[in-house]
Every structure is written in C-alpha cells, then in structure tokens.
A and B are shown apart, each in its own frame.
Chain A
C-alpha cells in the first residue's frame, strides 16, 4: 500500500475537518489514496467531540470576541483548543483493515508514530490508553478516531506551546474562575514540546513527518480538484451549519 502524504498546510477549522471527511469518502469510493496529513488552524478554534454539547463545553461569547472558531468534530472525545501557533495537528485516513481491529491497539499504533517523532526530538513519551500521549506524566498529545463505512480516520494534536489562559477562557470555565491555582493545576497535567526542547515548529513537523512515514511506501501529494471541491462543500453545508454545530 502506498500512502499519500500532504505536508504541513493551514486552513480554518471548517475546511480542516471537512477535508478529513471528504478524504474518508474518497477512499471509500476508491478515488482517494490512504492519506497522512499535517495541518495548522487559522484562525484558532475550539473543536468539540461528536457527542458533546457545544453550549456545555464552549464559551461561545468569548470565542466570538477573540475570533476563535467553534466546530463539532466527526470524532468523539473531548473539547480541544487549537491554538494557531501552539500546536500541530495530524490526520491518518485509510481503510480500517490496515489497522488492528481492536480500537485501543489502533490508537497505540498511530500514537506510537507521534511518540517516535517526539523521540527524534529527544523527548521521551508514552502512550496512555485510551487516546493520550504523556511526557513525565503530563499530557502532550490527544487523538480521536472514527470508523465509518470501513474507513478509519484518526486525527490528533501535538502541543507545541501552551496558552492556558486563552484555553480556559474559550472552554466553558467562566473567566472569574480562571484562578492562578487552576492554571497551576493545569500546568501540572498538561505540557508541550517547548517545555523540553528549543525546537522550531518546522523541526517538530519534520520529526513527525519522519516518524509517520518510516518504513512505509509513500509519496508527497496534493488534493485533487474533486477532493477539494467536496471538502469545500462539506465545510459550508455541514461543518459551518447551525444544525451540525448545535447537534447536541
């Protein structure tokens, strides 16, 4: 099997999530190859899990004020603040048969690529089931997976920098409650690449790219016109829609 790798690119939340779904559709239809992609979010965004209530999880008013987008993902899991400069996101989309049938084992496999990437940067990390990667017992990466129509999609983030104040203000914790104690407690549970290495974001991307492609047949590619057209359609008609955003 040959993978298509799409190098680091930047889109808004709606197109980012729509691309993942469009490529899943494409692979199912036989028109898209198995794909590994790396991307940034611009503007920054909060994504919530498929089963979460957006009003429960997100401070919509603060997001509006800060120009932070809010989006419901196609995958389960929790709410994530995607800081434009502070993280790197990946997606792996391929026929489910390529991966272990056991869901935790498939997380372990793909998360292993991130752990390998961190290793290249000299950071020792470990997989913590279900879907987290920890460094010295602090979370540095989270992932989420869906398997629909025989296609596995796993996407996840690697924290590069930490902006806890913004993170807490866009997630549904009132600003009055964002105390120093809370920030301190979060700092004890969450970490980022910059805490351990003075590496540029480009270095982190290069390390992930190497780790994700190691031992695989792959080539760098681009989106086809049909893929991009379908992704734009999904971004506008699904991911930006109130019906989808407020689904739960």
Chain B
C-alpha cells in the first residue's frame, strides 16, 4: 500500500514522503523544496529505510537519518533529520 504525508516543517521548507509499505517498507520517496549538500545523501536515506518494519519508532528513524547525515558530513537547509523522521513516521500510519 502506498501512503503519503507532507508538511511544511519547522525549519521552513516542505517535506513530502511517499512510502510503499506492507509489513516492511518496500520503497520510499522523499521530495520537497529543501536543500541538502551533498544532494546524493537523500538517496542513501531513502535506501536505508527500505526493509524497516512498518511500526518502526520515530527514534529509530531519526537516529538512522542522523547517522547518514553525520557520516557524510551533509548539511541540510530548511529541513532536519528530525523533521524527515516525523513526516515519514506520519506517512507510515
């Protein structure tokens, strides 16, 4: 089943999440008008979420995204690992 969630997050930009999920996340697409340097980090974030259980906690999502951002020395503008995790968690409901 494909579900969506989108929101203007507190850092100022729009985050939209489309997730294809049954028992586990099969596919995930994050879009929006934010900035992320380097840009390819978003692909890593999307790939890392695949396989996680539908009821994965916000904390786990946040820590995984935060890890990727830190490991890549990535800079987010208008979004944050926390905001992405929030919108994703909402899409998984």
By a beta-carbon cutoff of 8 Å, the part of chain A in contact with chain B is 49-53, 56, 75-79, 103-104, 130-131, 144-148, 248
Contact = CB atoms under 8 A, between A and B. Distances in A.
Contacts of A131: 35
Contacts of B75: 103
Interface residues of B, number: 18
A75 B30 CA distance: 16
Interface of B: 12, 14, 16, 29-39, 42, 75, 77-78
A148 B32 CA distance: 20
A75 B35 CA distance: 8
Contacts, number: 53
A76 B12 contact: no
B32 A51 contact: yes
Contacts of B16: 53, 56
A169 B12 CA distance: 25
* Secondary structure call for the B interface: strand
B31 A104 contact: no
Given A104-B77, A248-B29, A76 B34 contact: yes
29 contacts: A49-B33, A49-B34, A50-B39, A51-B30, A51-B31, A51-B32, A51-B33, A51-B34, A51-B39, A51-B42, A53-B31, A56-B31, A76-B33, A76-B39, A78-B14, A79-B33, A103-B35, A103-B37, A103-B77, A130-B12, A130-B35, A130-B77, A131-B35, A144-B35, A146-B39, A147-B37, A148-B39, A248-B29, A248-B31
